[in-house]
Amino acid sequence: MPRKSEPKEPGANRKAVLNALEAWKHPRVDTKDPQAIADRIEEYLKFCVDNDVAPGPAACASWLGISVATLWDWYAGRKASPEHQRVAAKLYGLLQNVWEQDMHEGTINNISGIYVGKAFYGFVDSQEIVVQTNTQSQLSVAELIAESKLLPDANTIEADYSVVGEEMELEDDPRYQKSLARKVKSDARKAAIEANKPKQAAKIKRYHAKYYQEHKKEMDAARRRNEQLAAERAQNGDLTRRKPGRPKKAQKETGADPGQGDS
**22-45 pLDDT, tens digit each:** 889 999 999 999 999 999 999 999
The alpha carbon of 52 is separated from its chain's Cα centroid by a whole number of angstroms, namely 46
- Residue range of the domain that includes 233: 171-240
Distance CA 62, CA 47 (A): 13
Count Cβ atoms within 10 A of the Cβ of residue 68 and give its class: 0-12 exposed, 13-18 middle, 19 or more buried: middle
Query: Would residue 206 count as lying in a domain?
Result: yes
Summarised one tens digit per residue, pLDDT across range 206-231 is: 888 888 888 888 888 888 899 988 88
Question: How many residues would you count in the chain?
Answer: 263
Domain for residue 141, yes or no?
A: no
Q: Tell me if 6 is assigned to some domain.
A: no
Count of the separate structural domains present in the chain: 2
Listed residues 98, 120, 142: the one ending a domain: 120
Single out the residue in 77, 97, 120 at which a domain terminates.
Answer: 120
Same domain for 28 and 112, yes or no, is yes
Helix, strand, coil content of the chain in percent (nearest 5): 60, 0, 40
Q: Give the confidence band of 159 by pLDDT, cuts at 50, 70, 90.
A: very low
- Is there a contact between 70 and 26 (Cβ–Cβ < 8 Å)? no
The mean-pLDDT minimum among 140-154, 180-194, 241-255 falls in: 241-255
In a domain, 38, yes or no: yes
The runs of H, that is alpha helices, within 106-173 are 110-120, 141-149
Straight-line distance from the first to the last Cα atom of the chain, in angstroms, rounded to the nearest whole number: 108
Instruction: Say yes or no: 28 and 104 in one domain.
Output: yes
pLDDT tens across 168-182, in order? Answer: 455 567 777 788 888
Residue 166 lies in a domain: no
At residue 241 the predicted structure's pLDDT band, cuts being 50, 70 and 90, is low
Domain match, 98 and 189 both: no
Residue 223 within a domain: yes
Task: Evaluate if residue 149 carries a pLDDT over 80.
Answer: no
Best CA proximity match to 123, nearest among 87, 82, 95: 95
Look at residue 63 and tell me if it is in a domain: yes
More confident residue, 100 or 134: 100
The residue type at 8 = K
Using the predicted structure, report yes or no on whether residue 18 has a pLDDT greater than 70: yes
Number of H helices, E strands in the chain: 9, 0
Q: Are 103 and 182 members of one domain? A: no
The residue out of 102, 120, 138 marking a domain boundary is 120
94 in any annotated domain: yes
Query: For 62-81, how does the pLDDT look when each residue is reduced to its tens digit (9 = 90+)?
Result: 999 999 999 999 999 988 89
pLDDT band at 82 (very low <50, low <70, confident <90, very high): very high
pLDDT tens for residues 182-209?
A: 888 888 888 888 888 888 888 888 888 8
